């Protein structure tokens, strides 16, 4: 262990064993090294003694105010700058040898990262997906206990990569990066992304970021990391001037658009249905690493819908590059699947029911607008989360009302609030003539199935893949999919 001691410039206690590294006091176990670091509210040093009681071999921290005579607790100057070297040495691989494909955005980052993972795997490359729906290595799900967050921190990331046990020089990591993770610098130490994408920026998570300016700032932090390819939705280009000083020099941001045919990368959907879509990508001014593709047009077909998922796929394709695709043929991507609970048309039942994760006003509006042409009426079941941004509740309900025939307002993770209080916020300023209030989510879905015809569609929004309801600190088992399957069994 002399190398680990040298990195921290300390001498470990006699008979010190190290079998685990963590910065989360709740994950400390026997023979851990607990890195007590500054959190969003408290410094981790307040858990130092507790960590030792849980079996930690040592605690290292950078809290200058902590006074202790415990010889297993070490103050380390400049600790944050030693973390990556320590983890690289302990796990015996350099995390930066891997290829990172990073996606952020208010909506679509799960789908984009998941599609990227599937494409790379189909091309024969080792790939890991990390994000909202868990972790996956190639076609195999891997345990999800590493992290409960959309984006893991650097300690959890090492755990995930170490669990795969493959040639680290061939590993691609397709990762969602949330605004919280970017703001908290959870992946500090990753010095290069193969690609970094900002898919869109809409009004969301203001309970955390407080204002839209702070939220936008967090998203643009993704471009502070060196990237071979930097991609952004064309409509967001206006923001880039504010971040010129933080964006790495000589790394041009490439715009993607389906509206502006002069964008760096332009795509057009030529045919679209729930079953199949065809589109092309025109490379007007591709990234420096793809300059040999300039002026080329590539055609694709896939089974994805609606239109915004084609946009997510375009970001994915442009992140990877075009070497594996043919310019002269229609490239068949029909093997691609969206993550569970994303624009998912439930199969083998007698009604049209779609489950989607949309949980902000723009996502609701865009999703409903994208599918309305396929059905006579849309009946929407959705709710608003408790203990989250209260200002968006009435906007979410407004989006649902304006883009559907009927809305069934129900529960979605009440947390420590009451359903009635959430509904009071949601109904403010809205006409409720087409709104039904049903607290129990299962009953709400059942009612929806009773009022739709074969030409209508019941759209169940907000929970997607989730398998729980969070109520007063407890996680109660619940799944939209299970409810629907039970109804049509």
Task: Tell me, yes or no, whether 338 lies in a domain.
Answer: no
Shared domain check, 370 and 328: no
CATH code, domain with 362: 3.90.190.20
Going from the first residue of the chain to its last (489 residues), give the mean pLDDT of each consecutive group of 10, the final group possibly shorter.
91 94 95 95 95 97 94 96 96 94 95 98 95 92 76 94 75 95 92 96 69 87 94 90 66 93 97 93 95 96 95 98 95 96 94 95 94 96 95 96 98 97 98 98 98 97 95 95 96
Six token digits for residue 442: 């299962």
Write the CA distances from 349 to 155, 276, 379, 454, 489, integer angstroms. 44, 20, 17, 11, 8
Shared domain check, 52 and 33: yes
- Of 57, 91, 125, which residue is a domain's last? 91
CATH code, domain with 75: 3.40.1390.10
Shared domain check, 236 and 106: yes
What pLDDT does residue 13 have?
94
**Threshold 0.85, pTM exceeds:** yes
Shared domain check, 112 and 64: no
Dihedral angle, C-alpha 78, 79, 81, 84, nearest 10 °: 170
Write the CA distances from 86 to 90, 206, 236, 402, integer angstroms. 6, 35, 38, 54
Shared domain check, 391 and 443: yes
According to DSSP, the β-strands at 277-283 and 265-272 are: antiparallel
Q: How long a stretch of residues is the chain? A: 489
* 3-state percent helix, strand, coil for the chain, nearest multiple of 5: 35, 25, 40
Shared domain check, 228 and 323: yes
169, 97 contact by CB (below 8 A): yes
Task: Tell me, yes or no, whether 265 lies in a domain.
Answer: yes
Task: Tell me, yes or no, whether 276 lies in a domain.
Answer: yes
Six token digits for residue 211: 């204002």
- Of 70, 91, 112, which residue is a domain's last? 91
Total domains in the fold of the chain: 3
19, 28 contact by CB (below 8 A): no
Shared domain check, 282 and 370: no
What pLDDT does residue 244 have?
66
What three-state secondary structure class fits 8?
helix
Shared domain check, 108 and 173: yes
Range of the domain at 419: 344-487
What pLDDT does residue 66 have?
95
Dihedral angle, C-alpha 226, 231, 237, 242, nearest 10 °: -20
Shared domain check, 245 and 310: yes
Shared domain check, 460 and 393: yes
Shared domain check, 431 and 393: yes
191, 180 contact by CB (below 8 A): no
Q: Which helix (H) or strand (E) holds 423?
A: helix 419-427
Q: Which helix (H) or strand (E) holds 131?
A: strand 126-131
Shared domain check, 434 and 321: no
Say how far apart CA 173 and CA 101 lie, in whole Å. 6
CATH code, domain with 238: 3.40.1190.10
What pLDDT does residue 401 have?
98
């Amino acid at each position: 262990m002399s190398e680990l001691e040298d990195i921290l410039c300390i001498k470990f206690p006699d008979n010190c064993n190290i079998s685990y590294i963590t910065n989360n006091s709740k994950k400390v176990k026997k023979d851990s090294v607990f890195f007590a670091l500054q959190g969003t509210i408290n410094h981790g040093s307040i858990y130092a003694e507790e960590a030792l009681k849980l079996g930690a071999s040592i605690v290292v921290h950078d809290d200058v105010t902590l006074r202790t005579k415990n010889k297993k607790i070490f103050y380390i100057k400049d600790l944050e700058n030693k973390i990556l070297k320590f983890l690289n040495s302990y796990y015996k691989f350099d995390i930066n040898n891997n290829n990172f494909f990073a996606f952020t955005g208010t909506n679509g980052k799960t789908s984009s990262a998941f599609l990227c993972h599937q494409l790379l795997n189909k091309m024969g490359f080792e790939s890991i997906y990390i994000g909202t729906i868990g972790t996956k290595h190639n076609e195999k799900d891997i345990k999800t206990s590493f992290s409960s967050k959309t984006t893991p921190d650097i300690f959890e990331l090492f755990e995930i990569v170490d669990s795969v046990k493959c040639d680290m020089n061939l590993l691609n990591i397709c990762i969602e990066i949330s605004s919280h993770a970017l703001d908290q610098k959870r992946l500090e130490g990753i010095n290069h992304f193969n690609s970094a994408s900002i898919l869109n920026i809409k009004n969301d998570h203001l309970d955390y970021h407080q204002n839209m300016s702070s939220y936008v700032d967090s998203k643009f932090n993704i471009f502070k990391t060196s990237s071979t390819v930097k991609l952004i939705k064309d409509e967001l280009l206006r923001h880039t001037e504010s971040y010129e000083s933080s964006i790495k020099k000589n790394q041009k941001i490439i715009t993607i658009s389906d509206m502006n045919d002069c964008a760096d990368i332009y795509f057009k959907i030529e045919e679209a249905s729930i079953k199949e879509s065809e589109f092309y990508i025109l490379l007007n001014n591709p990234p420096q690493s793809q300059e040999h593709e300039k002026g080329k047009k590539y055609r694709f077909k896939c089974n994805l819908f609606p239109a915004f998922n084609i946009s997510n796929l375009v970001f994915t394709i442009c992140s990877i590059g075009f070497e594996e695709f043919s310019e002269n043929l229609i490239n068949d991507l029909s093997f691609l699947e969206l993550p569970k609970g994303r624009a998912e048309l439930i199969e083998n039942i007698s009604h049209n029911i779609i489950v989607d994760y949309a949980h902000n006003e723009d996502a609701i509006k865009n999703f409903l607008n994208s599918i309305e042409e396929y059905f006579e009426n849309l009946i929407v079941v959705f709710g608003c989360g408790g203990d989250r941004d209260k200002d968006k509740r009435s906007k979410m309900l407004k989006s649902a009302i304006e883009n559907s025939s009927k809305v069934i307002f129900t529960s979605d993770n009440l947390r420590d609030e009451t359903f009635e209080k959430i509904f009071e916020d949601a109904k403010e300023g809205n006409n409720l003539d087409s709104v039904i209030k049903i607290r129990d989510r299962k009953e709400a879905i059942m009612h929806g199935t009773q009022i739709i015809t074969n030409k209508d569609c019941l759209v169940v929004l907000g929970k997607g893949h989730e398998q729980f309801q969070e109520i007063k600190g407890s996680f109660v088992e619940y799944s939209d999919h299970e409810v629907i399957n039970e109804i049509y069994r």
